[in-house]
Structure 1
Amino acid sequence: MYSCINCDAEVEELYRRYSPSVLKVLKCKRCGNLADKYIEYDPVIVLVDLVLLEKPAYRHLLYNSNFQSYWKLMIVLLLSETFRVWPTSDSSKNFDSNDFKTTSFEVERSFYILLAYTGISLGAFVVAVIISTEIRWFITGKTPDKYKASHLVRALIVGGCAKLLGLLGLVWQHVAHDSYYGLIHGYTMLYMLTAYSVVCESGRRDSLLGLAAGLLAHKYVSSWLSSFTQELNATSI
C-alpha cells in the first residue's frame, strides 16, 4: 500500500502506465488531489521541498519512493558528524608533533574512538525516541494504522541529514563556530520534527515530546562517554 502525500490516506495505486512514455498519476479518493505528484518530478525538486520542510515530500520519500539506502545515509551522517567534532575534540590536541609515527597512530585511533562514541550517542537517541513513542501509544491506546518502528528510524535518519551542513563550516572555516552550529542544530530539530510528525501523525507539540527523551538520552550518553574517556586518560597517565 502507498500513501497519499496530501491527506495521508492509503491508496492501492499511485499511477497507471499506458505505454513506456505515457504515465497517468491517479487521484486520491479521499481528498480528490493527485495521490503523489512527485512521481513526475525531478529528484532535485523533491530535495528542495524536503529542505523547505514540506510534509508531502517526506511522505513521498518515506512511503512511496524506491529509496532504500538509509543505512548508507546513516554511515555518511556518522562520518560527517565525527569529522565535524574531531578537530575540536580534546583527544586530537594532546599529541606530540615531534613524534610523527606515534602522532599519526594516536590521531587515527582517536578518530575511530570518536566515531564509536558518536554512533553510540546517536543510537541512544534513536532507541529513546522509539521507546518514548511506544510508551505514548500504550498510554493513549491510539496507535496510527501505518506506524512502524522501522518507519520512525528512517524518518530520524532523514531528519538528521540537516547535520551535513556542519561540513560547510570545516570548508569555510567559520570564526563563530558556536552560533553557526547553533543554527544547524535548530534547523535539524525542525527537520526531525517534520519527519517525526509525518510518521506518527502528530502535531509539533506531541512530536517535540517524542523527541525530548531522545535528546536527553543523547546528551547523557555523550556526557558519560566524555567523562569516561577523561578518567581513562587520567589513570593511564
Structure 2
Amino acid sequence: MRGLKTKQSKSNKENHVFVCINCGKTNGELYREILKDVIKLSHCEYCSKVVDKYVEFDPVIILLDALLFKEAAYRHVIYNARVKFHWKLCIMYLLCDAYMKWAHSQTEVQHSPKRFLHFALRWDFYAMFLMAAIELMMFLFSLMGSVSCRLWMRNEKMQKKDYICLHKALLLSCFGKLLVIPAVIWGQVDSLACLWMTRLFMLMSCTQSVRVILKSGFPVALMLVLLGFCVEALVATTSPLLLPIIIAGG
C-alpha cells in the first residue's frame, strides 16, 4: 500500500484527472493524505461513492476482478492505475501467439525441450512471429478505425489522450493470449478448444474495454470488436500464402 500510495500522491500533485470506477465521471483526486501514513479515500462528486476502492486493494484482487470482466476494475486499470508495462506485455502476446501458430503448423512435433529449441531456431517460427505482429496491428488499427467512424457518424470527437487510453486498453485486454502458457504446461497447446477459449476470452475482454472507453452499451462494443476480429481473421487467412515467401527469403 505504501508504494501505491506514493505513486498516487505523485499523480495528484501533477493534477492528473482520475475517473470514478462506479459512474465513470472524472474526479480530481483518489484520496487525501491526512497524516504521514494515513489517507482518506475521496468520494465522487456525482454518485457520492468512493472514487476508487481499488487503491487499497492488493494487485491480485484487482487482477481477479478484471478476469471476471468487472467494469470497475477495468476503469481502475485503464484510467487510475497508470499502467506503463503494456508494451512489454505486447511482446509476450506476440511470442505466445507465434508459438501457438507454430504448434498448429507442426503436425509431427515431439514435445521435448531439445525438439522445441531445434524448431524455435528455424525461420518458420520467426515468420510466425512476424505474422502475429501483423495480425495484431491490423486488429488494433481496424478497431480504432471503426471507433472513429462511429464517433464521426454521431458527430462526436475523441481527444488524443482518449485514443491513447483506447490503444493501451486494447493491448491490456489481449492478455488472454497468455493462456497459451498453461496450455503448454498441460500439453494442450495444439488443442482447438484451447484456441477458441483464448479467442472468446479476448473478445469479452476487448468488448469490456471498448465499453469503458466509449461509455456505450454491450451490443455496440461487441459489434465494433467483432469487426476488428473479422479483419484479423482475414489477414490470418492470407498469412499462409505469404509464409512460404518469407521463409524462402530467410
TM-score range, shorter chain: 0.7 to 0.9
Q: Distance in 1 between matches of 2:179 and 2:160?
A: 31
Deviant stretches of 4+, over 2 Å:
103-108, 142-147, 232-236
* Aligned-partner residue type, residue 183 of structure 1: M
Question: Matches of 2:161 and 2:29 in 1, distance apart?
Answer: 20
Q: Secondary structure at the match of 2:32?
A: strand
Which residues of structure 2 form unaligned runs of 5+? 1-16
How large is the Cα RMSD of the aligned pairs?
A: 2.6
Structure 2 equivalent of residue 162 of structure 1: 176
Matching of residue 52 in structure 1 with residue 75 in structure 2: no
Q: Deviations over 1:155-201 (max 9, x none)?
A: 11111101211221111013981123222221221111111111111
On the 8 A contact 2:123/2:247 being kept in 1, the answer is no
So what's the TM-score if we normalise by structure 1?
0.87
- Partner residue, 1:149: 163
Query: Are 1:140 and 2:154 matched, yes or no?
Result: yes
The CA deviation at 1:224 is 1.3
User: What are the within-5 Å matches in structure 2 for residues 101-140 of structure 1?
Assistant: 104=118, 107-140=121-154
1: CA distance between counterparts of 2:189 and 2:235? 28
Q: 1:10 to 1:87 in 2, by over 3 A?
A: same
Q: Could you report, residue by residue, the CA deviation over 1:54-92 in whole angstroms, capped at 9, with x for unpaired residues?
A: 1111111110113211111111111111122212225x8
**What amino acid is the match of 2:180?**
G
TM-score normalised according to structure 2 size: 0.82
Letter in 1 for 2:220: D
Distance 1:63 1:30 in 2: 18
- Which moved further from structure 2: 34-43 or 79-88? 79-88
Q: Mean Cα displacement is larger for which, 3-12 or 200-209?
A: 200-209
Partner of 2:4: none
Between stretches 180-189 and 131-140, larger displacement belongs to 180-189
Relative distance call for 1:15 and 1:107 in structure 2 (3 A) is same
Q: Which amino acid aligns with 1:5?
A: I
**CA–CA distance in 2 between the matches of 1:17 and 1:28?**
17
Contact 2:203 2:226 in 1 (8 A): no
Identity of aligned residues (%): 26
190, 194, 199: which is aligned to 1:185? 199
